[in-house]
Amino acid sequence: MLTLCAAMAVGIGGLYLYDRFSQPSDNQAKTSKERVVDNKRLPAGAEHKPASRPAKSASKSIAKAEPAKQAAAKAQSTNAKRAQNDVTNLLPLPKGVELPQLRHKRAEQVIEHEGYTVSYNSDYRIANWVAYVLTDQETRSDKAERQNKFVVDPMVKGASATNDDYTRTGYDRGHLAPAGDMRWSLKAMRESFYLSNVCPQNPGLNRGIWKELEELVRLWARENGAVLIATGPVIPKEDLPRLGKNRVAIPRHFYKVLCMVVDNRLEGVGFVFENRDYGATSLRELMLPIDKVEQLTGIDFFPALPDEVEKSMESTFHAEIWSF
């Protein structure tokens, strides 16, 4: 397990993370530096109350006042929860804040690559989770083109999937950290095609709503400076169906959880998908609080955050923050 250190510092309006853009070439060793991401400041929403109307009678006036009081109380509660998400005093956020933690014992090898970190499960030949940070600047880079060369992750210890396991099975090699998020680095692009970063996915899911969400994540990173991402298959207590000579597990569900800083507040949301084609289903219908995804997966997301901030951010989501 990784030990996560929360380095506290003041920096209003920014999310500071290690700098990928001043790194040496792929043939040189990586360096770890800070980088600055400017978050788009959104105007604070004003609390609205229904305009009052002349009451025809005292009883009717009281009856009409009740919904207004309830609406005001709900708005006040929402504003209070958002205030708890304020991370002004936590900026810059510490390196590694995006990394999840397994709540229950299972096979795990944590591997850090150029563009993402993977918790690899050799029992199932797939990841427990993949996590990374996507910045505005990275989404605008075109340094690397998609390569489509899937290979075994050379850092994996133990059993691994191979390309032959997927041949003529009807399943796609579905990316967890998508190649489209790795165009800022030739090495990151190559490593995104490691088989530790893919799972057997229904083609309708991989090429449909899953891809749609990947594209939206890039949009949200541009709008808000950066997005923290954790994604992977749901690994239940019971065994999963297998494919290929290496018996690669076929997940029944996948998840993706997201977190970003908006106006110095943390906003989070989760998604869970069955391994099937969703047709024209809207992603809005699948939005969940991160708490729900934690209950399903047995994974603690963003554990490096202070408990009160993490609890507030993960217990609900504000759909209006996430533009579609």
Q: Which of 228, 130, 124, 119 is nearest to 179 (CA)?
A: 130
Q: Which position among 48, 104, 113, 175 bears the catalytic label?
A: 175
Q: What pLDDT, on a 0 to 100 scale, did the predictor assign at position 220?
A: 97
Q: What pLDDT, on a 0 to 100 scale, did the predictor assign at position 147?
A: 86
Q: What pLDDT, on a 0 to 100 scale, did the predictor assign at position 95?
A: 85
Residues of the chain with pLDDT under 50: 1-64, 80, 82-83
The structural domains of the chain, ordered by start, are 88-321 (3.40.570.10)
Burial class for 223, CB neighbours closer than 10 Å (0-12, 13-18, 19+): middle
Write the CA distances from 92 to 6, 39, 88, 250, 264, integer angstroms.
Answer: 9, 12, 9, 39, 11
> What confidence tens digit (pLDDT) does each residue in 171-208 have?
999 999 999 999 999 999 999 999 999 999 999 999 99
Give the span between the Cα atoms of 118 and 153, in whole angstroms: 11
146-183: burial string, b at 16+ Cβ within 10 Å, e else: eeeebeebeebeeebbbeebbeeeebbbbbbbbbbbbb
Give the span between the Cα atoms of 310 and 300, in whole angstroms: 10
Amino acid (one-letter) located at 293: V
Q: What pLDDT, on a 0 to 100 scale, did the predictor assign at position 30?
A: 39
Q: Which of 129, 233, 204, 143 is nearest to 179 (CA)?
A: 143
Q: What pLDDT, on a 0 to 100 scale, did the predictor assign at position 7?
A: 33
Which residues make Cβ contacts (< 8 Å) with residue 10, sequence separation at least 6? 88, 89, 91
Are 184 and 138 contacting, i.e. CB atoms less than 8 angstroms apart? Answer: yes
| Active-site residue, 175 included | yes
Give the span between the Cα atoms of 95 and 16, in whole angstroms: 8
Q: What pLDDT, on a 0 to 100 scale, did the predictor assign at position 93?
A: 79
Give the span between the Cα atoms of 123 and 64, in whole angstroms: 61
Distance, C-alpha 163 to centroid of its chain: 27
pTM confidence score: 0.75
